[in-house]
Structure 1
Amino acid sequence: MSDPSEIRSDIERTRRELGQDVDALADKVNPAKMAHRQTDKVRRAVSRVTDRVMGTASDVAESAHDAMDTAGEAVAEAPQRVTSATRGNPIAAGLIAFGVGWLLSSLVPASKPERDVAEKAKEAAAPLVDEVRDVAKESADHLKEPAREAVDAVKERAAEAVDTVKQEGGAAASEVQSEAKHAAERRME
């Protein structure tokens, strides 16, 4: 690697790689992007919790479809089942009536009181949403100064690295020149 053009290309390659590393670090410690990543993380966590509690949309659709199929079958078979199950057993008749009522109530749209309860639950959860938002904002605020310091440190290290590359490149170029000069002098002798 004594060829000056090889040394120059090596220096340029090192500069490019260093520039890419500095850009990647700056992007990683950018407060806006850090906050965005944290927000995405919170959204994913909330989504997972919601899916666990409520089920995914496909689960709900499948459950509704299954309920409709079951309801159709139950309605068709209801007279025979009720007759055979309730002969001499009033508790069974009550349970069957309760089950049929429950099934039918699940097929009917939500009533006003049910919607009111859902709205109250939503209102009760609103402060939690605000609290999560405030915590995320506070986290972003706390990260600003360390991020600034990290950016400054990266800039400083990058400047030092550039100076080192320049010095080493200059020294290598001088050495190559000197050796080339000595080689030329030896040939002349």
Structure 2
Amino acid sequence: MSESPDAIRADIERTRAELGLDVDALADKVSPSKIVDRQTSKIKGAFGSVRDKVMGAADDAGSSASHLADSASGVAHDVKAKAEGNPLAVGLIAFGAGLLAASLVPPSAKEKELAEAAKEQAQPLIDEARDIAKEAAEHLKEPAQEAVAAVQDRAQEAVETVKAEGSDAAGQVQDRASEAQGNVTHS
């Protein structure tokens, strides 16, 4: 209790800022997109390493094949060790691998056609959702205005109550002061 209110406020702000940084770091660590990015980078690094080994050792094809197999085995072992006992990690790795593979294959004409058809079919739903949102906003406008009016009324009542209680208290203080003054003059 010996600390000043300003010191306490500063300590609270410092703690809040540190906590915010910790929460941001944790959110970044567990974000699925960041996990996929990290796993994709690891896989690209492993394949790049394998590619460098294969391309750099073109003189000795047997040696390159051996290194390639060792590298692939090492990557597979690392992925297996990290994923073992963690089905979420396995799913994320599989998702990342699928996403990587899908990004390498260009969409076919049929896929483009189906995507366009889905977009056209979804447009009425999007329009309907927009209309529903506007309607909901209109329906909420009146209750919100009523709530604001109720809060204003309650605040006005509170102001009047505080004024009345303040006046009563001031009157009581004046009465006691007069009474005390009378007691002092009679003594």
Which category of TM-score, normalised to the shorter sequence, fits these structures?
A: 0.3 to 0.5
TM-score w.r.t. the length of structure 2 is 0.46
TM-score w.r.t. the length of structure 1 is 0.45
Higher RCO (CA 8 Å, separation ≥ 6 residues): 1
